[in-house]
Amino acid sequence: MQKLRVVIVSPALADANNGNWQTARRWQNLLSPHSARIVRQWPDAQAGEDQVLLALHARRSADSVLAWHTQRSQRGLGVVLTGTDLYRDITHDPQAQQSLVLARSLVVLQGLGIASLPRIHQAKARIIFQSTGQRRTLPKTSRHLRVVMVGHLRDEKDPLTLMSAARLLPPNSGILIDHIGAPLDAALGQAAQATQTQCPHYRWLGALPHAQTLQRIQRAHLLVHTSRMEGGAHVLMEAICSGTPVLASRIDGNMGLLGTDYTGVFEPGDAKGLAQLLLACRAPLRGPAVVAHLQHQCALRAPLFEPQAERAALHRWVQDLWTL
């Protein structure tokens, strides 16, 4: 295998600690023995030696994509499409649309992503599932149903649906909700504070270190994911590979990871539907069977998210970008 110099363009770096950064950092490690570095924008002082550019985000990395194509044409130029790319920006944003045209190859991060691309670009797209290590399922209390939601408070994640569902739950339902995420939208942070005050069974914990977040996922009975749009949420994989089943909004970005036949879904924005699912999972007689069925469905998907599978797919993509 020829060792290549790869540059990963990520609009977010370590200070943001979001999905783009986590993907960039993981890919940098998985690309060994290639030489891979991460930049916010290309070109920079080290650009002369780069052979392959992987741009995370068609719109936000559009300047780097254009600069590479201007200097080097399509060879080595790959673009990774996020949820906001697929389900918003490529429909109307000229820069995002230009990135689709200029790229030699496109990557989506979940199984339904290619179908959302314009037909003219679908042939040059491929799926690379992100990965996470298999984790031990930690003991779960039987005294109550522990639920966790993980995601910074911003509109795309639709945290208000979780808060509204919490308000619909009877205080004695035996369902406790932990909500993890920084208040990127101040108004949503205020809403979380108000919900916490009015609903003792809902706790907003703010941003937590990744290790603490993972432990809470491992100890939870369920992870809730309410997003309006997703490119392929890494937290779903972390839950699945921790033995924690998921309740998720019925959007392509979630169904492309969970499978189109997954039963633990509710319509986007449907707080009542989410509350009903939570109550079904806590029901005295059938609740454990409902949770066990979701856990079984998630376990069938877990092999898709093994690190060796992502590493192999990523190496194939880089080699194809350079040699095809």
Token digits for 246? 């998921």
pLDDT(14) > 70: no
**pLDDT tens digits along 146-158:** 999 999 999 999 9
The predicted structure's pLDDT at residue 17: 63
Whole-number average pLDDT of the chain:
94
Q: What is the mean pLDDT of residues 244-251?
A: 97
Q: What is the DSSP string of 54-97?
A: EEE-TTTTHHHHHHHHHHHTTTTEEEE--HHHHHTGGGT-HHHH
Report the pLDDT value the prediction gives residue 139, as an integer from 0 to 100. 81
User: Six-digit token pair at 136?
Assistant: 């031990």
Closest to 110 measured CA to CA, from 279, 281, 227, 6 = 227
pLDDT score of 93: 96
Q: How confident is the model at residue 15 (pLDDT cuts 50, 70, 90)?
A: low
Q: Residue 42 has what pLDDT?
A: 98
Rg (CA), the chain: 20
- Indicate the pLDDT class of residue 232, thresholds 50, 70 and 90: confident
pLDDT tens-place string over residues 168-203? 999 899 999 999 999 999 999 999 999 999 999 999
How confident is the model at residue 275, as a pLDDT? 98
Quick one: tokens of 281? 């999972």
Sheet holding 125-127, edge to edge: 35-39, 5-9, 52-56, 77-80, 105-108, 125-127
Rounded Cα distance between 240 and 131, Å, is: 11
Which is nearest to 133 in space by CA: 216, 50, 46, 234? 234
The four Cα atoms 139, 254, 152, 20 give a dihedral, to 10 degrees, of: 110
Question: Of 302, 149, 290, 294, which Cα lies nearest the Cα of 240?
Answer: 302
Pair of tokens at residue 250: 């019925």
Tell me how far apart the alpha carbons of residues 222 and 138 are, in angstroms, rounded to a whole number.
Answer: 13
Instruction: Please write the tens of the pLDDT for every residue from 295-320.
Output: 999 999 999 999 999 999 999 999 99
Q: Are 125 and 117 in contact (CB under 8 A)?
A: yes
Query: What is the mean predicted confidence (pLDDT) over 230-245?
Result: 93
- pLDDT > 70: what percent of the chain? 98
Which of 136, 149, 105 is closest to 248 using CA atoms? 149
Look up the CATH architecture of domain 5-130+306-323: 3-Layer(aba) Sandwich (3.40)
Predicted local confidence at residue 16, as pLDDT: 57
What are the tens digits of pLDDT across the range 256-276? 999 999 999 999 999 999 999
pLDDT tens digits, residue range 125-148?
999 999 998 787 788 888 899 999
CATH topology of domain 145-304: Rossmann fold (3.40.50)
| Helical residues (DSSP H) of the chain, grouped into ranges | 19-30, 62-72, 83-87, 94-102, 119-122, 159-168, 186-198, 210-219, 234-240, 252-258, 271-282, 287-301, 307-323
pLDDT at residue 231, as a whole number: 85
The segment(s) of the chain belonging to CATH 3.40.50.2000 are 5-130+306-323, 145-304
Residues 65-80: pLDDT tens digits?
A: 999 999 999 999 999 9
Q: What share of the chain is helix, strand, coil (3-state, %, to 5)?
A: 45, 15, 40
Contact between 53 and 70 (Cβ < 8 Å): no
Euclidean distance between CA atoms 284 and 267, whole angstroms: 25
Question: pLDDT band for position 111 (50/70/90)?
Answer: very high
User: What's the start-to-end Cα distance of the chain, in Å?
Assistant: 15
